[in-house]
Structure 1
Amino acid sequence: MLLSLQAATVRFGGRAVLDAVDLAVAEHEIVCVLGPSGSGKSTLLRAVAGLQPLDSGRVALDGHDQSGVPAHRRGVGLMFQDHQLFPQRDVGGNVAFGLRMHGASRGEQADRVRSC
């Protein structure tokens, strides 16, 4: 399994925002997270990316437990709805930025941006 959550729980002020969520996502599978405002969608994505610690449960990527793995070492990208892109860059520039941060050459960046 590429991504799995097991009983993932996050509490804010004693209130469970994620309450023992189980999820399994296979390689090449596309998953959509839907729900009303305040239902925990962003919290779920932040927990997978390592930006929000779990109060209990487990996140695993490719079978490896991510407990204690910092966000910058997980290899997970998270794009927020608003105001998180670089407004001075076009779409290609924003995509290329992440590739550059991972050491991709200019040629590789250009090839990957064209393929999007």
Structure 2
Amino acid sequence: MSPTTSDTSASAGLSVRGLAVTYGDLRAVDGVDLEVAAGEVVALLGASGSGKSSLLRAVAGLEDVAAGEVAWGGRSMVRVPVHKRGFGLMFQDGQLFEHRDVGSNIAYGLTGLPRAQRSERVREMLELVG
């Protein structure tokens, strides 16, 4: 079944099939399969060094995929540049700009949008989290 042609994969927000991430001879992620429906919340739990961050970084496009497929809404993301994937990753050590307020930190990732649209999106996100 191909994630780019399957109706069930297209309805899933995220489809990961046989994903592998390597660092030299170390296989940090080995054959992971994962389906996350649109709107579903999932937690990855595991010991330090078990591959959680490597998996997330590969899905976000921040790590090279040694094998497997990552699809979002039925569209393969493996060859899509990071800045065109339409999603991001919040690192556990908090990569915020301390000299900026909350709104400016949110707006930083929206630099490609016109100012009015960026301001509206920041307002929406702030309302979402209260």
Deviates more, 1:101-110 or 1:54-63: 101-110
Q: 1: distance between equivalents of 2:35 and 2:84?
A: 21
Q: Secondary structure at 2:79's aligned position in 1?
A: coil
Q: 2: distance between equivalents of 1:69 and 1:62?
A: 13
Between the two proteins, the alignment pairs up a number of residues equal to 115
Scaled by the length of structure 1, the TM-score of the pair is 0.88
Does the CA-based 8 Å contact 2:103-2:122 persist in structure 1? no
Scaled by the length of structure 2, the TM-score of the pair is 0.80
Q: Hey, what does 1:101 align to over in structure 2?
A: 111
Cα displacement (A) at 1:83: 4.7
Q: Hey, what does 2:55 align to over in structure 1?
A: 44
Does the CA-based 8 Å contact 1:96-1:113 persist in structure 2? no
Q: 1: distance between equivalents of 2:43 and 2:102?
A: 22
> Do structure 1's residue 112 and structure 2's residue 112 form an aligned pair?
no
> Do structure 1's residue 9 and structure 2's residue 16 form an aligned pair?
no
Identity of aligned residues (%): 46
What does 1:35-74 align with in structure 2 at a 5 Å threshold?
35-74=46-85
Q: 2: distance between equivalents of 1:2 and 1:105?
A: 24
Q: Secondary structure at 1:36's aligned position in 2?
A: coil
RMSD of aligned alpha carbons: 1.6
Cα displacement (A) at 1:19: 0.4
Q: 1: distance between equivalents of 2:94 and 2:37?
A: 30
Unaligned runs of at least 5 residues, structure 2 = 1-11
Unaligned runs of at least 5 residues, structure 1 = none
Q: Which amino acid aligns with 1:88?
A: H
Q: 1: distance between equivalents of 2:66 and 2:121?
A: 39
